[in-house]
Amino acid sequence: MSTAQLLVTAGGVALIGWVLWYFFLAGRAGVAARAMGDDVQRVRIDVQGGYTPNEVHVAAGRPVRLDFFRNETNPCTEEVVLPAFGVRAWLAPHETTPVEFTPAVPGTYDFSCGMGMVHGRLVVEPA
Amino acid sequence: MSAPLAPAPAPTEADPVRCDIPVTGMTCAACSARVQRALERAPGVRSANVNLMTSTATVAYDPAATSADRLVAAIRDTGYGAEPPAAPRAASERVAERDAVREAEVREIRSKLIVSLAVAAISMVLGMRPGGMSGTGSGERWLLLALTLPVVLWAGRHFYTRAWAAFRHHGADMNTLIAVGTGAAFMFSLVVTVAPGWFAVRGVPVDVYYEAVAWIIALILLGNLLEARARGRTSDAIRRLAGLRPAIARVLRGGREHEIPLDALRAGDEVVIRPGDRIPADGVIVDGASTVDESMLTGEPAPVRKTAGDRVVGATLNRNGAFRFRVEHAGEDTVLARIIRMVEQAQGSRAPIQRLADRVSAVFVPVVISIAIATFVIWFDLGPDPAYLHALVAAVTVLIIACPCAMGLAVPTAVMVATGRGAELGILVKGGEALERAGDLDVVVLDKTGTITEGHPAVTDLSGEAPEEALRLAAAVERLSEHPLGEAISGAARERGLVAPPATAFESLTGLGVAASVEGRRVLVGSARLLAREGVDAAALDADAVRFAAGARTVVYVAADGRLLGLLGVADPVRPTSRAAVERLRAMGLDVVMLTGDARATAESVAHAVGITTVVPEVLPDHKLEEVRRLQRNGARVVAMVGDGLNDAPALAAADVGIAMGTGTDVAMETGSITLMRGDLAGVPQAIALTRRTMRVIRQNLFWAFIYNVIGIPVAAGALYPVFGLRLTPAMAAAAMAVSSVSVVTNSLRLRRFDPR
C-alpha cells in the first residue's frame, strides 16, 4: 500500500467516524424549552432545517399551544406532525402557525416533519 | 328506502357552546368582575369566566338563545372593547393558501429546471464534439465552468442552503446528499480548471465533471417538480370536499330574500333552496319538499326524499323541488366541516407499519455518506487507474442515487390518498392505525339492530279482508298510545296516505292491546288474547298469523264492532342491501357473526334472511363487549364490530376495528375507528376493501423504497464492476432517484381511483 493509499484510508475512516459522531451523538444535546403561560402553555418553535427548541416541556392536563415559525421554503419542513395528538399541520412559509392540543397523559412524544426526517420531542410532565 | 344523514343533534340543555372572546381595556380585577357580571346577566349564558391576565372572556352559552355576536355587544355595553372570536379558518381557505404556495414552488422549480436542462444539454454537446473529450482543453473547461456556475449558484442554490440549515441542527436530509455530491464534483472540477498546472506537474490525469453536476441538478429538479405536483394531488379529496360549500346562501330576512356570503350564515337563519341548489348548511326543512342527492357525503347513490321536519345536510345537492330550511349548524360546525377535520386528523396520524421506515429514515443519510466515503477509499486503494477519479465518481454516484424520500413518502402519501378517497365515499377512517388493522380483519360482528335492520319497527305485512281499513282504524287508536308499535302503525298509515280519524274512549289493556271508539265503532288493536277475551273470532286469519310469526313479525290484530278486519305484521325490517353486503363480506374471506338481544327464533329468521350462519342471540347490551372479547381470544383473531355507535359504544371500542354506521354525529365519530356516513351495510365491505387496497399499496411502496436503495447503493458504489465491469454515472443515478420518489407517490395516487363496487 502506498503512502497516499494509507493516508486516504486513514482519512476516510476518520471522516466516517466524524460523520457518525456529528449526526448521531453530537446532535443528541438538543435545545430544551419550557412552555409558559397560566392558562394556555405557549412556546415558539423556529423551523429552519430543524426545530429550535427541539425539546419542549409542558405540564399535563392544560392546553398547549406550539407556535411554529417556519422561516424557510424548504418543503421538507412544510408539515409538522404530532401523531399522538392527531395533528398534521401545514406550515405556511415565513409565517407562524399555531398548533393547539391538550396532552392528558405524561410521557415523551415525538413531533416531526411530514416525512419523519426532522424530529423534536414534547415532554409532558405530571401536572 | 332512505337512510338520511343525521347531523349532530341540535344543542340541548346539556350541550352549550363555548367560545373565547378577547376583551380590551380591562386594567383591574374590578373591570373583569364587571364584564363577568354583564355576561352572566345576558340571556342564554350558562357560565362566564373573565380572565384579566389573558384579557379573555370564556363563555358557555345556549346557541338557541344567544350568539357570540350578542355576547360581544353585551361586553361593549359595559364600556370595554371586545372582538368577535376568531373563527377557525375554513378548510377551503387553508387548502387554497397551500395550493398557492405549491403553485409558486412549482413555478420556481420549473424555471430552474429549464435553465439547468439547457446547460446540461449544451455541456453534453460540447463534450461530444469530434475530437473534443469532455473538458480536456483549458478553454473548454472555462466555458463549461461559466455555463455551470448559474446552475450551481442559482438553480441548485436551495440544495446547499437547506443542507446547511439542517447541518447546523445536526440533521441531514435529501438536500445534504445532493449538496455533498454535486459540491464535491463541482469543487474538484473548479480546482482542475483554475490550477491545471498543479496536476500536470505531478503527472496526474485530470477531468472535469461540470456536465455531471448540471445533469444531477436538472434531473433532481425534474423529480422535485413531478413529486410536488403529485403530492398536491394527494390532497385533492379535501380540496373537492371543501369545494362543496357554495359561495352564497339565499336567506329570508324580514320577509325578503337576501343573498349573503356563506361566512355570514348563522344558526337560526332561514334559507331558501331552489332546484339544483347546493345546500349551504345543516338544518331542518320548515316548508316544501324535494329529493336531495347526498352521495357526495354518504356515497349512497340514490337521492333521498325530504319534506318538512326532515334534516338536510350542508354540501348535499337539491334536485328538483324547492324548500326553506332553518339553519342549525353553519360554517365550522357542519357535518361537512367535521368530515374535513376528521380527514385532516387522520392524515396526521401515523400507521404502525411506518415505524420501520421511520427508523431507517432517521439514520439513512449519515449512513449513506459513510458508505460514500468508504466507496471512495476502496476505489482509491483497489481500483484501476486513474484510481482517484474513479473513486470520486463512484462516491458521488452513491450520494446521488440514495433516496430517503421514497421511504418517507411510502406510507403517508398512501394514507392521505386513502383517507381522502374514503371521505368521498362516505367512509371516514380515523387514522393510519385503523387503516392497518382493518386491512387484517378476520371476523366482522354485526349488531343486528340499526345495521342489518332499519333499527325501528315498521309495518311490514298486511292481511285480511280490509287491510287498509284495518290500518286506518288502528292508526286512529294508536295515535293516543305511547307504545313503540303505535309509532310504526301511524307511520305506515301516513305512508299510504290514510288519514287517521279522531278516536275517543281510549283504553290501554295492559299486556293485551288498546281499544278506542272511532267513527262510532269500537275498535280493538292488539294480540290474539285480546280478541279471544272480547269474543272476536280470529280463526279466518290463523294461517297468516302463523306465517307472520314464523317471519319474526309481531302480529297485531285489528277488529271493529266484534268483527276481525285484518292483521298487521310489525317488525324491524331488514334493509334491502344487507344481504348483498353480507355475501360480499363472506366472499372477501371474512367470518360474519350477528349479535342481537332478540330471542333465538327472531334472530335466526333475520340471520337467515341475510345469509348469516353464526348468530349470537339474547345478548344483553352490556354483554356485547364480552362477546367481542371472546371472539378476539378465540384464535387471536382480528375482530371488527359494526354498530350504530349509540348503545354499542363499549363493544365498538373493544373491537380491533369499531365501525360506526349511518351517523354523522360526534358520538359515533369519537367511538368508531371507522365511521360510515351511509346508513346501510353496503359501506362495510367497501370500507374493508379500501383498507385492504391501501395496505397493499403501502407494502408495495415500502418494498420498492427499500429494495431500490438496497440494490441501487451497492451498484452505484461499483459492486458489479469487478465481475461485469458495470458502473453507473452520476447522471444515471440522478435519473434513478427522481424516478424512485415519483413512482412511490404515483403508486399511492392510484388509490384515488379506488372503486367501491
**Cβ-count burial of B254 within 10 angstroms (0-12 exposed, 13-18 middle, 19+ buried)?**
exposed
Residues A7 and A43 in one domain: no
What pLDDT does residue B688 have?
A: 95
Proportion of chain B above pLDDT 70, given as a percent: 92
Range from B24-38, B71-85, B171-185 carrying the lowest mean pLDDT: B24-38
What pLDDT does residue B16 have?
A: 66
CA neighbor of B314 nearest in space, from B244, B253, B240: B244
Beta-carbon contacts of residue B287 (< 8 Å; ≥ 6 apart): B308, B323, B324
How far apart are the C-alpha atoms of B427 and B683, rounded to whole Å? Answer: 7
| Range picked from A67-71, B139-143, B441-445 for highest mean pLDDT | B441-445
Range from A18-32, B199-213, B686-700 carrying the lowest mean pLDDT: A18-32
Q: How confident is the model at residue B534 (pLDDT cuts 50, 70, 90)?
A: confident
Q: Is the dihedral of CA B110, B111, B112, B114 positive or negative?
A: positive
Residue B680 vs residue B371, higher pLDDT: B371
Asked if residue B732 lies in contact with residue B400, where contact means CB atoms within 8 angstroms, the answer is: no
C-alpha cell at A93: 412559509
CA neighbor of B117 nearest in space, from B240, B191, B229, B215: B215
Residues A103 and A91 in one domain: yes
Q: In what helix (H) or strand (E) does residue B235 lie, and over which residues does it extend?
A: none
Residues A24 and A57 in one domain: no
Cell numbers 364584564 label which residue? Answer: B35
pLDDT at B326 over 50: yes
**CB crowding B625-653: b at 16 or more within 10 Å, else e:** bebbeebbeeeeebbbbbbbbbebbbbbe
pLDDT at B8 over 60: no
* pLDDT tens per residue across span B65-94: 787 778 888 888 877 777 776 544 555 566
Residues A15 and A73 in one domain: no
C-alpha cell at B456: 325501528
Q: How confident is the model at residue A12 (pLDDT cuts 50, 70, 90)?
A: very high
Q: Do A92 and B53 touch (CB under 8 A)?
A: no
Q: How confident is the model at residue B29 (pLDDT cuts 50, 70, 90)?
A: low
Residues A59 and A14 in one domain: no
Range from A16-30, B57-71, B87-101 carrying the lowest mean pLDDT: B87-101
**CB crowding B308-319: b at 16 or more within 10 Å, else e:** eebbbbbbbbbb
Which strand ranges, in their side-by-side order, compose the sheet holding B674-676? B427-429, B674-676, B657-661, B639-643, B443-447, B591-595, B614-616
Cell numbers 374535513 label which residue? Answer: B340
Instruction: Look over chain B and give the mean of its residue pLDDT values, rounded to a whole number.
Output: 84
Residues A97 and A53 in one domain: yes
Instruction: Look over chain A and give the mean of its residue pLDDT values, rounded to a whole number.
Output: 84
How far apart are the C-alpha atoms of B527 and B567, rounded to whole Å? Answer: 10
Residue B28 vs residue A56, higher pLDDT: A56
Q: Which residues in chain B (91-120) have CB-CB distances under 8 A to chain A?
A: 94, 97-98, 101, 105
Label residue B148 left, alpha or beta by phi (over 0 means left) and psi (-120 to 50 means alpha): alpha
CA neighbor of B554 nearest in space, from B488, B476, B634, B628: B488
Contacts of A89 in chain B (CB under 8 A): 348
pLDDT at B129 over 80: no
Residues A56 and A38 in one domain: yes
Q: Is B173 on the interface with A (CB under 8 A)?
A: yes
Q: In what helix (H) or strand (E) does residue B275 lie, and over which residues does it extend?
A: none
How far apart are the C-alpha atoms of B659 and B652, rounded to whole Å? Answer: 7
Q: How confident is the model at residue B13 (pLDDT cuts 50, 70, 90)?
A: very low
Domain holding A70, by residue range, is 32-125
Residues A59 and A23 in one domain: no
What pLDDT does residue B15 have?
A: 58
How far apart are the C-alpha atoms of B491 and B542, rounded to whole Å? Answer: 25
Asked if residue B473 lies in contact with residue B558, where contact means CB atoms within 8 angstroms, the answer is: yes
Residues A71 and A91 in one domain: yes
Asked if residue B462 lies in contact with residue B567, where contact means CB atoms within 8 angstroms, the answer is: yes
pLDDT at B448 over 70: yes
Proportion of chain B above pLDDT 90, given as a percent: 26
**Cβ-count burial of B100 within 10 angstroms (0-12 exposed, 13-18 middle, 19+ buried)?**
exposed
What pLDDT does residue A8 have?
A: 92
* pLDDT tens per residue across span B698-734: 999 999 999 999 999 999 999 999 888 888 888 889 8
**CB crowding B525-562: b at 16 or more within 10 Å, else e:** bbbbebbeebebebeebeebbebbeebbbbbbbbbbee
Angle value at C-alpha B134, between B129 and B139, nearest 5 degrees: 85
* Three-class DSSP category at B157: helix
Cell numbers 454537446 label which residue? Answer: B125
Mean of pLDDT values over B44-69: 76
What pLDDT does residue B668 have?
A: 62
Asked if residue B617 lies in contact with residue B604, where contact means CB atoms within 8 angstroms, the answer is: yes
Asked if residue B435 lies in contact with residue B696, where contact means CB atoms within 8 angstroms, the answer is: no
How far apart are the C-alpha atoms of B335 and B7, rounded to whole Å? Answer: 6
Q: Which residues in chain B (211-270) have CB-CB distances under 8 A to chain A?
A: 228
Asked if residue B54 lies in contact with residue A38, where contact means CB atoms within 8 angstroms, the answer is: yes
How far apart are the C-alpha atoms of B84 and B42, rounded to whole Å? Answer: 16
Q: What is the dihedral of CA A115, A116, A117, A121, to 10 degrees?
A: 140
Residue B540 vs residue B130, higher pLDDT: B540
- Chosen from B359, B370, B398, B405 to mutate, greatest number of chain A CBs within 10 A: B370
C-alpha cell at B640: 371488527
In this complex, the residue of B348, B404, B409 whose CB is nearest that of residue A88 is B348
* Three-class DSSP category at B705: helix
One-letter amino acid of B618: E
* pLDDT tens per residue across span B182-199: 999 999 999 989 988 888
Label residue B268 left, alpha or beta by phi (over 0 means left) and psi (-120 to 50 means alpha): left
- Chosen from B350, B364, B744 to mutate, greatest number of chain A CBs within 10 A: B350
Range from A21-35, A100-114, B324-338, B637-651 carrying the lowest mean pLDDT: A21-35
Q: How many domains does chain A have?
A: 2
Label residue B25 left, alpha or beta by phi (over 0 means left) and psi (-120 to 50 means alpha): left
Residues A42 and A78 in one domain: yes
Helix%, strand%, coil% for chain A, nearest 5: 25, 45, 30
Mean of pLDDT values over B504-524: 83
Cα B645 off chain centre by: 18
Q: What is the DSSP letter of A95?
A: E
* Three-class DSSP category at A51: strand
Mean of pLDDT values over B386-404: 90
Angle of the B210-234 helix axis to the B730-749 helix axis, nearest 10: 0
pLDDT at B499 over 70: yes
CA neighbor of B333 nearest in space, from B747, B669, B629, B7: B7
Cα B98 off chain centre by: 19
Cβ neighbour number for residue B520 with a 10 Å cutoff: 7
Mean of pLDDT values over B119-144: 73
- Chosen from A7, A71, A115, A118 to mutate, greatest number of chain B CBs within 10 A: A115
Q: In what helix (H) or strand (E) does residue B724 lie, and over which residues does it extend?
A: helix B721-724
Catalytic residue numbers of B, as ranges: 447
Mean of pLDDT values over B241-257: 85
How far apart are the C-alpha atoms of B718 and B734, rounded to whole Å? Answer: 16
Q: Is B54 on the interface with A (CB under 8 A)?
A: yes
What pLDDT does residue B132 have?
A: 44
How far apart are the C-alpha atoms of B463 and B350, rounded to whole Å? Answer: 57
Across the strands, what pairs with B271?
Answer: B251, B325
Angle value at C-alpha B601, between B537 and B649, nearest 5 degrees: 125
Contacts of B412 in chain A (CB under 8 A): 114-115
Q: In what helix (H) or strand (E) does residue B154 lie, and over which residues does it extend?
A: none
What pLDDT does residue B748 have?
A: 92
How far is the alpha carbon of A54 from chain B, nearest alpha carbon, in Å?
A: 9
pLDDT at B35 over 50: yes
CATH number at residue A93: 2.60.40.420
Which strand ranges, in their side-by-side order, compose the sheet holding B17-24? B45-51, B56-61, B17-24, B81-82
Mean of pLDDT values over A4-13: 92
* CA distances to B125, B255, B258 from B271, in Å: 68, 12, 9
Residues A101 and A54 in one domain: yes
What pLDDT does residue A29 have?
A: 58
Residues A38 and A24 in one domain: no
Beta-carbon contacts of residue A10 (< 8 Å; ≥ 6 apart): none
Cβ contacts from A onto B, under 8 A:
131
Q: Do A23 and B53 touch (CB under 8 A)?
A: no
Mean of pLDDT values over B373-384: 93
Contacts of A6 in chain B (CB under 8 A): none
Asked if residue A74 lies in contact with residue B101, where contact means CB atoms within 8 angstroms, the answer is: no
- Phi, psi torsion values for B602, nearest 5 degrees: -60, -45
Angle value at C-alpha B162, between B234 and A118, nearest 5 degrees: 60
What pLDDT does residue B666 have?
A: 59
C-alpha cell at B527: 294480540
Asked if residue B394 lies in contact with residue B375, where contact means CB atoms within 8 angstroms, the answer is: yes
Beta-carbon contacts of residue B29 (< 8 Å; ≥ 6 apart): B52
Contacts of A1 in chain B (CB under 8 A): 381
What pLDDT does residue B27 have?
A: 65
